Amino acid sequence: MQKVSCPSCGAPVEFKSHASVMAVCDYCKSALLKDADSVRDMGKMSAVLEDYSPLQVGTSGSFGGQEFSVLGRIQLRYAAGLWNEWYVMYGDGRAGWLSESGGQYTLTGEKEATGALPAFEQIRIGAPYNVLGKVCTAADVRTAQCTGGEGELPFSVGAGWQAKVADLRSGRSFVTLDYSEGSAPKVYAGQAVTLEQLKCQLLRDDDTVRDSAGKYTKSVQPLACPSCGGSLSWVPGVTKQIVCPSCRSPVDTTTDVAAVLAAGERMEQFDTTLKLGAKGNIGGAAYQVIGAMLRRDDEGEEWTEYQLYSPRGGFLWLIETAEGWQRSRLQDDWPVWNPSETVKVGDLAYKKLYEYAATVVAAVGAFNWQVRAGDTAQVVEYEAGKNRLAAERTGEELSWSWSTPVGADQLRAWFGLAIPDAVLAPKTDIMKLAEYFLYGVAGVNFIPLMFDFDETWHYSAFAAAAIWLPAKIISMMQD
């Protein structure tokens, strides 16, 4: 450990790792670069946005029998949001990175590159690449800006520093190709992890996250919509964008001052079964509905997706369709995708069900990425029994989600809402059922009627009317 005095304010600054070449002063936020014989001031480092993350500098944990400590963080911003890269040091002196994005975590370390690697510009989302002897799928390709940092870092970053990175996945394996320093990438490999697996200590508690999330260490002002002045109801720090409930302007919350991304844009209002702010206990964790968006496929079918958040449970989706409800969560364990008619996760094979384009029609509330009306993604759904896997792809990102049906009683138990069965249950077309049954009755009677068309025909007609009329009346009452 090396202790120095900040050249700017004189406060003590510690370099816990000899591999660290930069540290950010906790007091004045000066970025300090460690030379061979001195430490010099590189100027101010932008403060990080205190988001929903339970991690902090000083958090410790263990994985695979190796203990580690979090020494520093950089925050990286791209067009649709931001993510955290936590710099960690293991007990044996090795360094690594704990990446945190949208409530998902990956733990990686630098590896020696082997074999030919693709150029950054040649990587295509969803395409397979052989990296470190394993076929991986390109999941994410981005050029991001470093917008803030704290603690110790193994390299120098400052204003204008860019990260050009591509993430690839196979099963739980995770590989990052970092092209930030040139055409030949650095390779970082590891796997997807959860906070429970990391056995973390000294995490920020829920109250701390709630009190500080969404705030910069400098002055903070109440957030109002810059377009109409209306107040914005949101979960601080959890979200990257709010859609103003009053004027429907999308407001970016990851910048120092909230800015209207498209002041003239208006998103169509739509009614939702679950209201923003609704709270439910799901799997022992307290969740809250923070956003909802209406989507439509290329055949005109519409459905509503609700984003929920829990400080410890992370992000969760509830999907309301004409067939009923589903609970969905992003996958850490990825299948190898060709794309093909079947995909396999573990020992379970999923068969291809649908392929379509999903377009955002309207959105309201808050999301952990920027959502706009007109955003379109290509979706491929696979099915195994009642469970489904869905691959959702845009030009920059591929994600996999797993979903399972949710019953009416279960939804009521979670939220304590008196929602009628007609809303929660699959919307069965009563008239169609009556029509199909009528066809069956006619079919059964068709053959004998051909040979003996006597006065008994009116009995069949009466039975058909007895089936059709009640169904018609019920249908009219529902309308």
Task: Say if residue 257 is in the same domain as residue 361.
Answer: yes
Is residue 6 assigned to a domain? yes
Is residue 213 assigned to a domain? no
Task: Say if residue 121 is in the same domain as residue 255.
Answer: no
User: Residue 168's pLDDT is what?
Assistant: 96
- Could you tell me what percent of the chain has a pLDDT over 90? 37
- Express each pLDDT in 94-147 by its tens digit: 999 999 987 889 999 999 988 889 999 999 999 999 999 999 999 999 999 888
Task: Say if residue 229 is in the same domain as residue 192.
Answer: no
Task: Say if residue 420 is in the same domain as residue 458.
Answer: no
Using the 3D structure, point to which of 160, 181, 206 is the last residue of a domain. Answer: 206
Q: For residues 380, 80, 253 and 176, what is the CA-based torsion angle, rounded to 10 degrees? A: 100
Is residue 319 assigned to a domain? yes
Task: Say if residue 316 is in the same domain as residue 349.
Answer: yes
Task: Say if residue 117 is in the same domain as residue 165.
Answer: yes
Number of domains in the chain: 3
Q: How far apart are the C-alpha atoms of 61 and 163, rounded to whole Å?
A: 27
Task: Say if residue 267 is in the same domain as residue 348.
Answer: yes
User: Residue 13's pLDDT is what?
Assistant: 65
Task: Say if residue 343 is in the same domain as residue 463.
Answer: no
- Contact partners, residue 252, CB within 8 Å, separation at least 6: 240, 241, 258, 259, 260, 261, 370
- Express each pLDDT in 283-319 by its tens digit: 888 898 888 899 999 999 999 999 998 877 788 999 9
* Domain assignment of residue 454, given as a range: 430-478
pLDDT band at 265 (very low <50, low <70, confident <90, very high): very low
| Residue that has been written with the tokens 């958040």 in this structure | 309
Task: Say if residue 36 is in the same domain as residue 132.
Answer: yes
Q: Which H/E stretch holds residue 209?
A: helix 206-212
Secondary structure letter of residue 28 according to DSSP:
T
Is residue 215 assigned to a domain? no
Is residue 214 assigned to a domain? no
Task: Say if residue 282 is in the same domain as residue 420.
Answer: yes
Task: Say if residue 11 is in the same domain as residue 48.
Answer: yes
Q: Which of 39-43, 80-84, 259-263, 450-454 is predicted with the least confidence, judged by mean pLDDT?
A: 259-263
Task: Say if residue 276 is in the same domain as residue 395.
Answer: yes
